[in-house]
Amino acid sequence: AKYTIVDQDTCIACGACAIAAPDLFDYDDEGISFGLLDNNKGITPVVDEEMIDELEDAYESCPSNSIQMSDEPFSSEKEEAS
C-alpha cells in the first residue's frame, strides 16, 4: 500500500495531479490540490494497483514536488484524534 498527501505550502495549483489521478486528488476553491481519499490527511492506504499507478503518475507530474508518497501513513490515527 501507498500513502499520499499534498504539501499545500508548495503546491502551485497547476492542476497536473488530478489530471493524472482524478480518483486521488482534487482542488480547493483556490486550485490548491488535496488528497481525496482522506481530505489530505495521508492516512488512507492506496491498495488498488491501478490507483497506485495513478498516484505514481501524479507524483512524477507535479512540477513542485508537492505530491508526497510513502509506504507509511503520514500521521497516526492517534495524532489525528488529538
Tell the smallest beta-carbon distance from residue 27 to ligand SF4 (Å): 7
For residue 40, state whether it binds ligand SF4 (rule: CB under 6 A): no
CA 41 to chain CA centroid, nearest Å: 9
The residue from 11, 24, 46, 55 that contacts ligand SF4 (CB under 6 A) is 11
Interface with ligand SF4: number of residues (CB under 6 A) = 15
Cβ–Cβ under 8 Å, residues 11 and 33 = yes
- Within 7-64, strands assigned E span 25-27, 33-35
For residue 22, state whether it binds ligand SF4 (rule: CB under 6 A): no
- List interacting residues with ligand SF4 (CB under 6 A): 6, 11-17, 33, 61-64, 66-67
